[in-house]
Amino acid sequence: MNNADEEVLIWLRSIDSNVRDEKILRDNVEKFVNDIRIYDDVNECIAELSSVCEEKIFLRLGSGLSHLINILDDFNQVQYIYLSEPSEYKSSVKVRGVFNDNIQLFDQLQKAINAWKNHHVYLTVCDVDSRRMETTTQDVQNHAARFMWSQMLLKTLLQMPSPSNNTNKDLFEEARRLYANNERILAVIEEFEREYQADHAIKWYKCDSFLYRLINKALRTRDICLIFKFRYLIQHIRKQLKDQQQKILAGWCFLRHEPVRTAF
């Protein structure tokens, strides 16, 4: 599955679940998770978990399924597990509790997923893993190559001429394709296309919406095709940052009576 986001909610349902339960979950959870996958068969669910590589799974277990904790706990992709009933099986740090109340469940899911998103937001194309030290010559060479690649890419993107109109057409098309099944996000994309202005690029990027998730994933994973679709938005963000820097330095230099110098 081509997943636009990195957070996935998987619901392994019990036999007593119904269509209304699914509608309630989708209506509430789609506000903060685009990718929701629902399974009735245990084997299919475990096969799906085994196929996941980059995504982080938030797993809801239906009643009568808590015995699966011993198995599910071993999947690194699974971030947290949310139960429908108390479990007599081994305790796991991934189990966040028993939730029979939907409001409480949705609240805990949103807090956990937002916390994970905020911890993994990077506006950089230089993917440096700060959890380990570069210890070999090959490591240093690889890191240097990645850094040079990121600098060359940014320079190329920033120097590309902008068309006079409809600069983000391919961005809109890609976003609609990735979120084709999410009416709420499609409405945000429509608003973005209708109201976007270059001098509001940072405002749109900072919104908790499809935009910052797609940009950061594209930059972190070095997805050239997707990065290219964001080229004009990246230019607009850079220009806004440069303008803000000029204003700040101008005010500072006015007080210090020194000439303005910029880093750009």
Instruction: Please give the Cα distance from 1 to 5 (Å, whole number).
Output: 11
For residue 164, what pLDDT is reported?
58
**173 & 222 share domain:** yes
In a domain, 261, yes or no: no
Q: Are residues 195 and 222 in the same domain?
A: yes
User: 57 or 30, which is more confident?
Assistant: 57
Q: Do residues 141 and 91 share a domain?
A: no
Q: Does any domain span residue 220?
A: yes
CATH number at residue 85: 3.40.50.2300
**Greater confidence, 219 or 75?**
75
Do 108 and 147 reside in the same domain of the chain? no
In terms of pTM, does the model score above 0.95? Answer: no
Q: Please give the share of the chain, as a percent, with pLDDT higher than 90.
A: 2
Report the amino acid identity of residue 136. T
Question: For residue range 85-137, what is the model confidence (pLDDT) as tens digits?
Answer: 887 665 678 888 898 888 888 889 988 888 877 665 544 444 444 444 444 55
Q: Both 88 and 147 in a single domain?
A: no
pLDDT digits (tens, 9 = 90+) for 126-155: 444 444 444 455 555 566 666 666 666 677
Domain of residue 85: give its range: 7-119
Asked if residue 143 and residue 115 are part of one domain, the reply reads no
The answer to the question of residue 130 being in a domain is no
Last residue of one domain, picked from the residues 63, 92, 119: 119
pLDDT in tens, 40-77: 888 888 888 877 767 788 999 988 888 888 788 888 88
Does residue 49 lie in a domain region?
yes
Which residue among 119, 145, 162 closes a domain?
Answer: 119
Specify whether 141 is located in the same domain as 72.
no
